Amino acid sequence: MSEKARHPQSQRHPDRVPTDAAAVTLTAAAAVMPTLLSAQGMISVGIDVLRLTAAVAVALAVFLELALVSSALLARSAVLRGRSARADLISTWVFSTVSGSFSAAHELVGQPDAHGVTTWQLDARSALAAAVRVAAPLVAAWLWHRILTGDRHSSDSAPTRPEARRHRLMLAVATAALDLQRTRQARPASRAALRARRRLDRRHRALLRHVPATDHRLSGQLSLWLTEVGRVHHLDAQLTPEPTPLPRVSADTPRDSELDTTDTSPSADDPAARLAVAVALVRRDDTVSGQDVADAFTHRGWPATPRTGQRWLAKARASLAVTPSSPPV
């Protein structure tokens, strides 16, 4: 299309998964281990430090981990829908840090002494274990962040499934309209023209089933599709080989009285005959148009489009320009 219709990102629909499914699956599987490690550490902190029952400690750990997973999924859903995922992404990093910190606290809290007082233990083993518990969920959050970055880039560059369906239906309508135009020009009031009209009606109704008629962009976009599909005539003109030198029109070219453009009986279709018909039309009326020449060809059994008539009209005028007109009889 000469001008692409741009849609707001808020109207994108997550019917497709832009990022490779294998990458998403592997990242989600990799995040399971940090989640279990953090949950185990928080359960131990709840039981040993907060003096919670095992059920309450497990519930607290599950709550924090579910908050982390929910934030990650909400962030990806926002990216796929074209909305801002900033808040959900920040929440993912915050919950990952909180989960890792609470899990690491279990490694830094020492055993209670004889008086029941618990102190910090900062030996090398505890510091290393705490660092591992903090780093694990942060690495998982970074991997998920990279997945969201790829989704955002893919969502900005590739059309969604509803957009692709919309474009496909508009192309079908434009193609059916072009077929109807060609059929009417070649065989007006024929069964083929009636079938082409019914095909256009069906495809237009199919478009309206997916795109409401109240959509203010429908008319403009459909006009663009019709214009672009109709440019095939220009492509045909560009691919037409260079014309051969025009033959000089002899003095016995059919006169206006000898030309019967309403004759529907088929006649020999050759360049000389077409040129003779076009020349006679120009001699009769210098303001004749390409549509008039195409109609004359069609009546004589030569399928032609207005574009074809325009080309033969130009050839006829060029031929008359190099051939002196014979005096009227």
**pLDDT by residue (tens digit) across 269-322?**
578 888 888 888 888 877 778 788 888 888 887 778 888 888 888 888 787 776
Same domain, 225 and 169: yes
Q: Give domain status of residue 270, yes or no.
A: yes
Q: Are 272 and 315 in contact (CB under 8 A)?
A: no
The count of structural domains within the chain is: 3
Q: Is the pLDDT of residue 101 over 60?
A: yes
Q: How far apart are CA 179 and CA 200, in angstroms?
A: 9
Contacts of 148 (CB under 8 A, 6+ apart): 75, 76, 79, 85, 89
Q: Give domain status of residue 4, yes or no.
A: no
Q: Which residue has the tokens 């490694």?
A: 107
Same domain, 124 and 192: no
Q: Are 38 and 102 in contact (CB under 8 A)?
A: yes
Q: What is the pLDDT of residue 27?
A: 81
Q: What is the pLDDT of residue 114?
A: 64
The whole-chain average pLDDT of the chain stands at 75
Residue 176's pLDDT band (cuts 50, 70, 90): confident
Q: What is the pLDDT of residue 19?
A: 53
Q: Is the pLDDT of residue 8 over 50?
A: no
Q: Which of 196, 230, 264 is the endpoint of a domain?
A: 230
Residue 39 DSSP symbol = H
Same domain, 123 and 208: no
Q: What is the pLDDT of residue 246?
A: 52
Same domain, 153 and 197: no
Same domain, 98 and 42: yes
Long-range contacts of 148-156 (CB under 8 A, 24+ apart): 148/75, 148/76, 148/79, 148/85, 148/89, 150/18, 150/19, 150/23, 151/18, 151/19, 151/76, 151/79, 151/80, 152/79, 152/85, 154/18, 154/19, 155/9, 155/12, 155/18, 155/79, 155/80, 155/82, 156/9
Same domain, 136 and 52: yes
Contacts of 17 (CB under 8 A, 6+ apart): 24, 80
Q: Is the pLDDT of residue 192 over 80?
A: yes
- Tell me which amino acid residue 315 is: K
Residue 59's pLDDT band (cuts 50, 70, 90): very high
Q: Give domain status of residue 237, yes or no.
A: no
Same domain, 145 and 23: yes
* % the chain with pLDDT above 70: 73
Which candidate, 155, 162, 160, 161, places its Cα nearest to that of 212? 162
Q: Is the pLDDT of residue 145 over 80?
A: yes
Q: How far apart are CA 286 and CA 4, in angstroms?
A: 41
Same domain, 78 and 25: yes
Q: Is the pLDDT of residue 81 over 70?
A: yes
Residues in the chain: 329
Q: How far apart are CA 58 and CA 77, in angstroms?
A: 28
Q: Is the pLDDT of residue 258 over 50?
A: no
Q: Give domain status of residue 2, yes or no.
A: no
Q: What is the pLDDT of residue 12?
A: 44
What are the Cα distances from residue 256, in Å, to 189, 283, 324, 326, 328? 28, 7, 17, 13, 11
Same domain, 131 and 166: no
Q: Which of 113, 138, 158 is the endpoint of a domain?
A: 158
- Tell me which amino acid residue 206 is: A
Q: Which of 132, 158, 184 is the endpoint of a domain?
A: 158
Please report, to the nearest 10 degrees, the dihedral formed by the alpha carbons of residues 87, 93, 98, 100 taken in order. Answer: 160
Same domain, 226 and 276: no
Q: Give domain status of residue 241, yes or no.
A: no
Q: What is the pLDDT of residue 263?
A: 47
Same domain, 195 and 297: no
The range of the structural domain enclosing residue 181 comes to: 162-230
Same domain, 43 and 98: yes
